[in-house]
Protein backbone atom coordinates (compact mmCIF):
# COMPACT_ATOMS: atom_id res chain seq x y z
CA UNK A 1 0.00 0.00 0.00
CA UNK A 2 1.51 3.31 -1.15
CA UNK A 3 0.93 6.42 0.90
CA UNK A 4 0.51 9.38 -1.42
CA UNK A 5 2.84 12.19 -0.39
CA UNK A 6 1.88 15.84 0.12
CA UNK A 7 1.85 17.51 -3.27
CA UNK A 8 -0.16 14.65 -4.77
CA UNK A 9 -3.47 15.51 -6.41
CA UNK A 10 -6.88 14.43 -5.14
CA UNK A 11 -9.82 14.56 -7.53
CA UNK A 12 -13.35 15.02 -6.21
CA UNK A 13 -16.49 14.34 -8.22
CA UNK A 14 -18.97 16.93 -6.99
CA UNK A 15 -18.54 20.61 -6.20
CA UNK A 16 -21.06 21.13 -3.39
CA UNK A 17 -20.52 21.66 0.31
CA UNK A 18 -19.16 18.19 1.02
CA UNK A 19 -16.64 18.55 -1.79
CA UNK A 20 -15.74 21.99 -0.46
CA UNK A 21 -15.03 20.71 3.05
CA UNK A 22 -13.13 17.71 1.69
CA UNK A 23 -10.99 20.07 -0.39
CA UNK A 24 -10.27 22.29 2.62
CA UNK A 25 -9.20 19.24 4.63
CA UNK A 26 -6.99 17.99 1.79
CA UNK A 27 -5.36 21.44 1.52
CA UNK A 28 -4.40 21.29 5.20
CA UNK A 29 -2.57 18.04 4.54
CA UNK A 30 -0.68 19.52 1.60
CA UNK A 31 -2.63 17.97 -1.29
CA UNK A 32 -3.75 19.72 -4.45
CA UNK A 33 -7.42 19.24 -5.35
CA UNK A 34 -9.22 19.17 -8.70
CA UNK A 35 -13.04 19.26 -8.77
CA UNK A 36 -15.28 17.86 -11.50
CA UNK A 37 -18.71 19.50 -11.48
CA UNK A 38 -21.06 20.73 -14.22
CA UNK A 39 -21.73 24.00 -12.36
CA UNK A 40 -19.25 26.79 -12.98
CA UNK A 41 -17.74 28.47 -9.95
CA UNK A 42 -18.93 25.70 -7.63
CA UNK A 43 -18.49 26.00 -3.84
CA UNK A 44 -15.76 23.34 -3.89
CA UNK A 45 -14.13 24.67 -7.03
CA UNK A 46 -13.53 28.06 -5.42
CA UNK A 47 -11.33 26.57 -2.67
CA UNK A 48 -9.46 24.11 -4.91
CA UNK A 49 -6.51 24.24 -7.30
CA UNK A 50 -8.86 23.88 -10.24
CA UNK A 51 -12.22 22.73 -11.52
CA UNK A 52 -13.22 20.87 -14.65
CA UNK A 53 -16.65 22.11 -15.70
CA UNK A 54 -18.33 19.15 -17.36
CA UNK A 55 -21.02 16.52 -16.81
CA UNK A 56 -20.05 13.55 -14.63
CA UNK A 57 -20.19 11.23 -17.64
CA UNK A 58 -18.15 13.41 -20.01
CA UNK A 59 -15.44 11.06 -21.38
CA UNK A 60 -12.85 13.78 -22.00
CA UNK A 61 -13.26 15.21 -18.51
CA UNK A 62 -13.01 11.76 -16.96
CA UNK A 63 -9.85 11.02 -18.94
CA UNK A 64 -8.29 14.24 -17.62
CA UNK A 65 -9.26 13.36 -14.05
CA UNK A 66 -7.73 9.92 -14.42
CA UNK A 67 -4.45 11.34 -15.71
CA UNK A 68 -3.91 14.42 -13.52
CA UNK A 69 -5.20 12.97 -10.24
CA UNK A 70 -3.38 10.40 -8.12
CA UNK A 71 -6.61 9.46 -6.33
CA UNK A 72 -10.27 10.31 -6.90
CA UNK A 73 -13.25 10.28 -4.55
CA UNK A 74 -16.78 11.72 -4.64
CA UNK A 75 -19.17 13.76 -2.52
CA UNK A 76 -22.36 11.99 -3.61
CA UNK A 77 -23.25 8.35 -4.18
CA UNK A 78 -25.02 8.49 -7.54
CA UNK A 79 -21.81 8.53 -9.55
CA UNK A 80 -22.22 6.58 -12.82
CA UNK A 81 -20.35 3.28 -12.56
CA UNK A 82 -18.98 3.76 -16.07
CA UNK A 83 -17.43 7.07 -14.96
CA UNK A 84 -15.56 5.36 -12.13
CA UNK A 85 -14.27 2.67 -14.51
CA UNK A 86 -13.04 5.30 -16.97
CA UNK A 87 -11.17 7.23 -14.28
CA UNK A 88 -9.53 4.02 -13.09
CA UNK A 89 -8.42 3.28 -16.64
CA UNK A 90 -6.52 6.56 -16.57
CA UNK A 91 -4.45 5.35 -13.64
CA UNK A 92 -6.03 7.06 -10.61
CA UNK A 93 -7.09 5.23 -7.47
CA UNK A 94 -10.83 5.58 -6.82
CA UNK A 95 -12.31 5.19 -3.36
CA UNK A 96 -14.75 4.10 -2.09
CA UNK A 97 -14.89 1.23 -4.56
CA UNK A 98 -17.49 -0.12 -6.99
CA UNK A 99 -19.11 -2.49 -4.48
CA UNK A 100 -19.98 0.38 -2.14
CA UNK A 101 -21.44 2.42 -4.99
CA UNK A 102 -23.52 -0.47 -6.33
CA UNK A 103 -24.98 -1.18 -2.88
CA UNK A 104 -25.66 2.45 -1.97
CA UNK A 105 -27.26 3.34 -5.31
CA UNK A 106 -30.05 0.76 -5.00
CA UNK A 107 -32.10 0.57 -1.80
CA UNK A 108 -33.03 -3.05 -2.43
CA UNK A 109 -29.39 -4.04 -2.91
CA UNK A 110 -28.50 -2.01 0.17
CA UNK A 111 -30.97 -3.74 2.49
CA UNK A 112 -30.10 -7.16 1.08
CA UNK A 113 -26.40 -6.51 1.71
CA UNK A 114 -26.96 -5.15 5.20
CA UNK A 115 -28.95 -8.15 6.36
CA UNK A 116 -26.35 -10.41 4.78
CA UNK A 117 -23.59 -8.99 7.02
CA UNK A 118 -25.76 -9.11 10.14
CA UNK A 119 -26.75 -5.42 10.15
CA UNK A 120 -30.50 -5.88 10.52
CA UNK A 121 -32.99 -3.55 8.81
CA UNK A 122 -36.75 -3.22 8.84
CA UNK A 123 -38.68 -5.84 6.89
CA UNK A 124 -38.94 -4.94 3.20
CA UNK A 125 -40.48 -6.04 -0.08
CA UNK A 126 -39.31 -5.45 -3.67
CA UNK A 127 -41.86 -3.61 -5.81
CA UNK A 128 -41.73 -3.64 -9.60
CA UNK A 129 -45.48 -3.42 -10.33
CA UNK A 130 -48.63 -2.20 -8.64
CA UNK A 131 -49.50 -5.85 -7.99
CA UNK A 132 -46.17 -6.25 -6.18
CA UNK A 133 -47.08 -3.27 -4.04
CA UNK A 134 -50.41 -4.79 -3.03
CA UNK A 135 -48.67 -8.05 -2.13
CA UNK A 136 -46.11 -6.14 -0.09
CA UNK A 137 -48.82 -4.30 1.85
CA UNK A 138 -50.48 -7.62 2.65
CA UNK A 139 -47.13 -8.88 3.94
CA UNK A 140 -45.91 -5.79 5.85
CA UNK A 141 -49.18 -4.08 6.76
CA UNK A 142 -49.70 -0.33 7.09
CA UNK A 143 -48.41 2.22 7.58
CA UNK A 144 -45.52 1.33 5.25
CA UNK A 145 -43.02 3.50 3.42
CA UNK A 146 -42.68 3.24 -0.36
CA UNK A 147 -39.33 4.44 -1.72
CA UNK A 148 -37.82 4.54 -5.18
CA UNK A 149 -34.98 2.04 -5.41
CA UNK A 150 -32.65 4.65 -6.88
CA UNK A 151 -32.00 8.31 -6.11
CA UNK A 152 -34.01 10.34 -3.63
CA UNK A 153 -32.63 12.09 -0.53
CA UNK A 154 -33.79 14.46 2.23
CA UNK A 155 -37.27 12.95 2.16
CA UNK A 156 -37.59 12.97 -1.64
CA UNK A 157 -38.56 9.86 -3.61
CA UNK A 158 -40.69 8.34 -0.88
CA UNK A 159 -44.36 8.20 0.16
CA UNK A 160 -46.03 6.87 3.30
CA UNK A 161 -48.96 4.51 2.64
CA UNK A 162 -51.32 4.72 5.60
CA UNK A 163 -53.95 2.30 4.25
CA UNK A 164 -54.08 -0.24 1.43
CA UNK A 165 -56.47 1.96 -0.54
CA UNK A 166 -53.66 4.49 -0.94
CA UNK A 167 -51.45 2.09 -2.91
CA UNK A 168 -52.33 3.33 -6.39
CA UNK A 169 -51.87 7.00 -5.50
CA UNK A 170 -48.48 6.27 -3.92
CA UNK A 171 -47.35 4.21 -6.91
CA UNK A 172 -48.37 6.98 -9.31
CA UNK A 173 -46.73 9.66 -7.14
CA UNK A 174 -43.36 7.93 -7.55
CA UNK A 175 -43.83 7.51 -11.29
CA UNK A 176 -44.38 3.75 -11.35
CA UNK A 177 -40.63 3.19 -11.01
CA UNK A 178 -38.96 0.20 -9.33
CA UNK A 179 -39.41 0.68 -5.60
CA UNK A 180 -38.92 -0.92 -2.22
CA UNK A 181 -41.64 -1.10 0.42
CA UNK A 182 -40.41 -0.83 4.00
CA UNK A 183 -42.21 -1.72 7.21
CA UNK A 184 -42.59 1.02 9.79
CA UNK A 185 -39.88 1.01 12.44
CA UNK A 186 -41.12 1.61 16.02
CA UNK A 187 -38.00 3.56 16.96
CA UNK A 188 -37.41 5.87 19.89
CA UNK A 189 -34.87 8.07 18.14
CA UNK A 190 -32.52 8.16 15.16
CA UNK A 191 -28.83 7.76 15.75
CA UNK A 192 -25.96 7.78 13.31
CA UNK A 193 -22.42 6.59 13.36
CA UNK A 194 -19.55 7.87 11.24
CA UNK A 195 -16.77 5.38 10.62
CA UNK A 196 -13.77 4.95 8.34
CA UNK A 197 -11.69 2.14 6.90
CA UNK A 198 -8.18 2.64 5.57
CA UNK A 199 -6.46 0.98 2.64
CA UNK A 200 -4.70 -1.29 5.14
CA UNK A 201 -8.03 -2.51 6.56
CA UNK A 202 -7.80 -0.50 9.78
CA UNK A 203 -11.16 0.74 11.08
CA UNK A 204 -11.85 3.91 13.11
CA UNK A 205 -15.28 4.73 14.57
CA UNK A 206 -16.54 8.07 15.89
CA UNK A 207 -18.95 8.39 18.83
CA UNK A 208 -22.64 8.16 17.99
CA UNK A 209 -24.74 11.22 17.18
CA UNK A 210 -28.45 11.72 17.86
CA UNK A 211 -30.37 13.25 14.94
CA UNK A 212 -33.51 15.35 14.79
CA UNK A 213 -35.37 15.99 11.54
CA UNK A 214 -38.07 18.35 10.28
CA UNK A 215 -39.86 17.86 6.98
CA UNK A 216 -37.60 14.95 6.07
CA UNK A 217 -34.47 17.13 6.39
CA UNK A 218 -31.85 16.88 9.12
CA UNK A 219 -32.01 19.88 11.41
CA UNK A 220 -29.76 19.00 14.35
CA UNK A 221 -27.23 16.41 15.47
CA UNK A 222 -26.22 16.12 19.12
CA UNK A 223 -22.91 14.40 19.72
CA UNK A 224 -21.60 12.43 21.42
CA UNK A 225 -25.08 10.98 21.92
CA UNK A 226 -26.05 9.74 25.37
CA UNK A 227 -26.09 5.96 24.90
CA UNK A 228 -25.49 2.95 27.09
CA UNK A 229 -22.74 0.39 26.53
CA UNK A 230 -25.07 -2.00 24.69
CA UNK A 231 -26.01 0.58 22.05
CA UNK A 232 -22.40 1.70 21.63
CA UNK A 233 -21.20 -1.88 21.20
CA UNK A 234 -24.00 -2.74 18.74
CA UNK A 235 -23.36 0.36 16.63
CA UNK A 236 -19.62 -0.30 16.44
CA UNK A 237 -20.27 -3.91 15.43
CA UNK A 238 -22.58 -2.72 12.65
CA UNK A 239 -20.05 -0.17 11.41
CA UNK A 240 -17.26 -2.72 11.23
CA UNK A 241 -19.49 -5.28 9.51
CA UNK A 242 -20.50 -2.76 6.84
CA UNK A 243 -16.97 -1.45 6.22
CA UNK A 244 -15.38 -4.89 6.01
CA UNK A 245 -18.27 -6.37 4.02
CA UNK A 246 -17.84 -3.68 1.36
CA UNK A 247 -14.02 -3.82 1.44
CA UNK A 248 -14.48 -0.11 1.95
CA UNK A 249 -11.94 2.72 1.81
CA UNK A 250 -12.99 6.09 3.19
CA UNK A 251 -15.65 7.46 5.52
CA UNK A 252 -19.18 6.09 5.66
CA UNK A 253 -22.28 7.45 7.37
CA UNK A 254 -24.71 4.91 8.82
CA UNK A 255 -28.17 5.97 10.00
CA UNK A 256 -29.65 3.83 12.78
CA UNK A 257 -33.02 3.37 14.46
CA UNK A 258 -32.79 3.00 18.24
CA UNK A 259 -35.55 0.61 19.28
CA UNK A 260 -34.60 0.64 22.95
CA UNK A 261 -33.17 -2.12 25.15
CA UNK A 262 -29.93 -2.14 23.19
CA UNK A 263 -31.57 -2.93 19.83
CA UNK A 264 -30.62 -1.13 16.62
CA UNK A 265 -31.84 -1.32 13.04
CA UNK A 266 -29.94 0.18 10.11
CA UNK A 267 -31.96 2.75 8.17
CA UNK A 268 -29.46 3.43 5.39
CA UNK A 269 -25.81 3.91 4.59
CA UNK A 270 -24.07 6.72 2.70
CA UNK A 271 -20.67 5.92 1.11
CA UNK A 272 -19.22 9.37 1.76
CA UNK A 273 -18.79 12.00 4.41
CA UNK A 274 -22.18 12.71 5.94
CA UNK A 275 -24.22 15.65 7.26
CA UNK A 276 -24.55 13.94 10.66
CA UNK A 277 -20.74 13.92 10.93
CA UNK A 278 -20.26 17.70 10.65
CA UNK A 279 -20.02 17.88 14.43
CA UNK A 280 -16.59 16.26 14.21
CA UNK A 281 -15.15 19.48 12.74
CA UNK A 282 -15.23 21.11 16.16
CA UNK A 283 -15.59 18.07 18.42
CA UNK A 284 -12.65 15.88 17.35
CA UNK A 285 -8.96 16.33 16.62
CA UNK A 286 -9.38 14.62 13.23
CA UNK A 287 -12.74 15.43 11.63
CA UNK A 288 -14.60 13.24 9.13
CA UNK A 289 -13.29 15.20 6.14
CA UNK A 290 -9.62 14.82 7.06
CA UNK A 291 -10.32 11.19 7.93
CA UNK A 292 -11.75 10.53 4.48
CA UNK A 293 -8.78 12.19 2.78
CA UNK A 294 -6.38 10.18 4.95
CA UNK A 295 -8.06 6.91 3.99
CA UNK A 296 -8.28 7.66 0.26
CA UNK A 297 -4.65 8.82 0.08
CA UNK A 298 -3.38 5.78 1.99
CA UNK A 299 -2.45 7.57 5.22
CA UNK A 300 -3.01 6.15 8.70
CA UNK A 301 -6.43 6.94 10.13
CA UNK A 302 -6.62 9.74 12.68
CA UNK A 303 -8.03 9.73 16.24
CA UNK A 304 -11.82 9.69 16.65
CA UNK A 305 -12.29 10.48 20.35
CA UNK A 306 -14.47 13.51 21.11
CA UNK A 307 -12.89 16.40 23.03
CA UNK A 308 -16.14 18.43 23.21
CA UNK A 309 -19.90 18.05 23.08
CA UNK A 310 -21.36 19.58 19.92
CA UNK A 311 -24.83 20.57 18.77
CA UNK A 312 -24.72 20.80 14.96
CA UNK A 313 -27.57 22.71 13.31
CA UNK A 314 -28.09 23.07 9.57
CA UNK A 315 -28.72 26.56 8.20
CA UNK A 316 -31.43 26.26 5.56
CA UNK A 317 -32.39 28.94 3.07
CA UNK A 318 -32.36 32.46 4.47
CA UNK A 319 -31.33 31.19 7.91
CA UNK A 320 -27.82 31.82 6.62
CA UNK A 321 -28.56 35.53 7.02
CA UNK A 322 -28.16 34.99 10.77
CA UNK A 323 -24.39 34.83 10.28
CA UNK A 324 -23.87 38.28 11.80
CA UNK A 325 -25.65 37.43 15.06
CA UNK A 326 -24.11 33.97 15.26
CA UNK A 327 -20.61 35.26 14.67
CA UNK A 328 -20.69 37.09 17.98
CA UNK A 329 -21.31 33.98 20.08
CA UNK A 330 -18.20 32.56 21.72
CA UNK A 331 -19.48 28.97 21.72
CA UNK A 332 -20.48 28.91 18.04
CA UNK A 333 -18.37 27.84 15.07
CA UNK A 334 -19.84 28.86 11.71
CA UNK A 335 -19.33 26.81 8.53
CA UNK A 336 -20.76 28.50 5.41
CA UNK A 337 -20.80 26.83 2.01
CA UNK A 338 -20.50 29.80 -0.35
CA UNK A 339 -23.77 29.02 -2.11
CA UNK A 340 -26.15 31.42 -3.81
CA UNK A 341 -29.04 31.95 -3.98
CA UNK A 342 -30.49 31.02 -0.57
CA UNK A 343 -33.50 29.04 -1.78
CA UNK A 344 -36.01 27.74 0.80
CA UNK A 345 -34.79 24.45 2.26
CA UNK A 346 -31.36 24.66 0.62
CA UNK A 347 -28.43 23.77 2.88
CA UNK A 348 -26.43 26.98 3.05
CA UNK A 349 -24.19 26.16 6.01
CA UNK A 350 -24.18 24.80 9.52
CA UNK A 351 -23.19 25.91 12.98
CA UNK A 352 -21.55 23.86 15.69
CA UNK A 353 -22.34 24.93 19.26
CA UNK A 354 -19.46 23.65 21.36
CA UNK A 355 -19.76 22.67 25.02
CA UNK A 356 -17.44 20.97 27.50
CA UNK A 357 -17.51 17.21 27.09
CA UNK A 358 -19.90 15.55 29.54
CA UNK A 359 -18.54 12.40 31.16
Question: Is 102 part of any domain?
Answer: no
Sign of CA dihedral 190, 221, 148, 21: negative
Residue 157's SS3 state is coil
Domain count for the chain, please give it: 3
Query: Do 132 and 199 sit in the same domain of this protein?
Result: no
DSSP class per residue in 63-76:
HHHHHH-SEEEESS
Residues 80/57, Cβ–Cβ less than 8 Å: yes
Query: Do 132 and 20 sit in the same domain of this protein?
Result: no
Task: Note the pLDDT of residue 237.
Answer: 98
Question: Is 111 part of any domain?
Answer: no
Question: Is 24 part of any domain?
Answer: yes
Query: pTM of this prediction?
Result: 0.94
Query: Do 246 and 328 sit in the same domain of this protein?
Result: yes
Structural domain span for residue 227: 189-355
Task: Note the pLDDT of residue 153.
Answer: 61
Rounded CA gap, 184 and 240, in Å? 26
pLDDT digits (tens, 9 = 90+) for 155-209: 678 999 999 999 999 999 999 999 999 999 999 999 999 999 999 999 999 999 9
pLDDT < 50 positions in the chain: none
Q: How many residues does the chain have?
A: 359
Residue 264's SS3 state is strand
Q: Burial of 328 by CB count in 10 Å (0-12 exposed, 13-18 middle, 19+ buried)?
A: exposed
Query: Do 200 and 318 sit in the same domain of this protein?
Result: yes
Rounded CA gap, 178 and 144, in Å? 16
Query: Do 158 and 172 sit in the same domain of this protein?
Result: yes
Query: Do 81 and 128 sit in the same domain of this protein?
Result: no
Amino acid sequence: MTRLAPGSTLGILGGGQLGRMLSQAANRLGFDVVILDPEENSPAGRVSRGQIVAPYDDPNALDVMGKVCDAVTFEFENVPAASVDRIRAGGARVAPGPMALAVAQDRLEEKTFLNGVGATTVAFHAVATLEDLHRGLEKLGTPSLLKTRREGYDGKGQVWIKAAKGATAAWDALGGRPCILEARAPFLRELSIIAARGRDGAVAVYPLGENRHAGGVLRTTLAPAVVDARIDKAARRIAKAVLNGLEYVGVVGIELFDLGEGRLLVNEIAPRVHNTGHWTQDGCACDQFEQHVRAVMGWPLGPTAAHASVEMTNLLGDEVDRWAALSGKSDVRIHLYGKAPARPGRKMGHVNRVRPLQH
